[in-house]
Amino acid sequence: MLPRRATALDSAGVPADPPSPTRRPPLEGILVADFSRVLAGPLAAMVLGDLGAEVIKVERPGGDDTRSWGPPWAPDGTSTYYQSVNRNKRSIVLDLTDPGDVELAGRLIERADVLIENFRPGTLERFGLGEEATSAANPRLVSCSLTGFGSGEGAVLPGYDLLIQAVGGLMSVTGQPGGPPTKVGVAVVDVIAGLFATVAILAALAERERSGVGQRAEVSLLGSLLAALVNQASGFLGAGAIPVRMGNRHPSIAPYESFASADGELVVAVGNDRQFSALCRELGCAALATDARFATNAARVEHHAELVAALVPLFVAQPGATLARALNAAGVPCGPVNDVSGAFALASSLGLPSIVEMAEGARQVASPIMLDATPVGYRRTPPALGAGGADLRAWLRGDDRMPGGI
């Protein structure tokens, strides 16, 4: 079964069934100046674009770094990495070493509702586009600065996802016991920071509705990761427990991990004693549920090695698909370790929109945001470098209205 697709777009990149006037996108009329590059900032800008904002992506000559990050490449030769976070945008190339382009950048910021940037702290000030200048020219501006390590003593440090995963503690808890520290398979710190930035921007826009005045938000990659460590960070702060690599185990829940079945890996996520009893019944070992070593979650965590020794031969004796169906039917969370293809197929089978077909055959991951009155939209494919730049330059030089937009 092919993965389910979200609303298709026509050849011009317009929704085939555009929202009615009473179902306008929630951020329609909001202009976002996206001066960011790579992942965290562009992701935040794309989310705002999906919600209806008009996003102008400002790129240096040569373009966003991710335009050259490949393979893999899309059929048209575009980097699929770049495509992942740049839909619903227009692109304009501005060289901030050129006074004329700096003037146009300033005019864009004066007209914008939101500015997103991830330059090293102090960079925009050098071009006369710092917080003091922009807030004076546009008091309603909501600006969001994404940094690696903040704007204080860490301002000079470059912020890359892999580096933050390392120094921020995530790699120390990822990987097999006794094995090397391991990064997560995607740039998860950038994703988390981008989503925190989106929340900050929306909060600042809501406050602007009350006060009429914008404000500056700052989100750091390191701070975002520390916040995302949740229970691991809380265990350290509240109990002095420094977490370690545990493979697919959980430090506080058992069994909450992967097991080899007769034909593949299964994950079991037992979150309470009732689910553990059901697991034991389905595996034909009901007595384990009343064994004092395993009767409560805390006891199971304490006696984890003995628990796993008892469960491993029961899992490996059965086909994974058969066992997963039986456990899920019994209320025990269980599923196979899918590859990415299997993940999209699962979403499709569950009726979740997972792929959006855009203009010229481009396929994108659908937004997970589902608003029943003001749905997200997919108006534009990720733009070619500088596409529409001439119209945007004319608009910034004095045209009253941006062609095709606000």
Which 3-state string (H, E, C) describes the chain? CCCCEECCECCCCCECCCCCHHHCCCCCCCEEEECCCCCHHHHHHHHHHHCCCEEEEEECCCCCHHHHCCCCECCCCCEHHHHCCCCCEEEEECCCCCHHHHHHHHHHHHHCCEEEECCCCCHHHHCCCCHHHHHHHCCCCEEEEEECCCCCHHHHCCCCHHHHHHHCCCHHHCCCCCCCCCCCCCCHHHHHHHHHHHHHHHHHHHHHHHHCCCCEEEEEHHHHHHHHCHHHHHHHHHHCCCCCCCCCCCCCCCCEEEEECCCCEEEEECCCHHHHHHHHHHHCCHHHHHCCCCCCHHHHHHCHHHHHHHHHHHHHCCCHHHHHHHHHHCCCCEEECCCHHHHHHHHHHCCCCCEEECHHHCEEECCCCCCCCCCCCCCCCCCCCCCCHHHHHHHHCCCCCCCCCC
At 399 the pLDDT is: 64
Calpha distance 121→145 (Å, rounded)? 8
In this predicted structure, what is the pLDDT of residue 199?
A: 98
pLDDT of residue 8: 42
**What is the model's pLDDT at position 6?**
56
The structural domains of the chain, ordered by start, are: 5-230+369-396 (3.40.50.10540), 265-336 (3.30.1540.10)
- pLDDT in the model for residue 5: 52
Q: Check residue 48 and give its pLDDT.
A: 98
Q: If you search the block for the tokens 């045209």, which residue do you land on? A: 399
Mean pLDDT in order along the chain per 10 residues (406 residues): 45 41 84 98 98 98 96 93 97 97 97 96 93 96 97 91 98 96 97 98 98 98 98 97 96 97 97 98 97 98 98 96 97 97 96 90 92 94 94 88 60
The pLDDT, as a whole number, for residue 2 is 43
Residues with a known catalytic role: 190
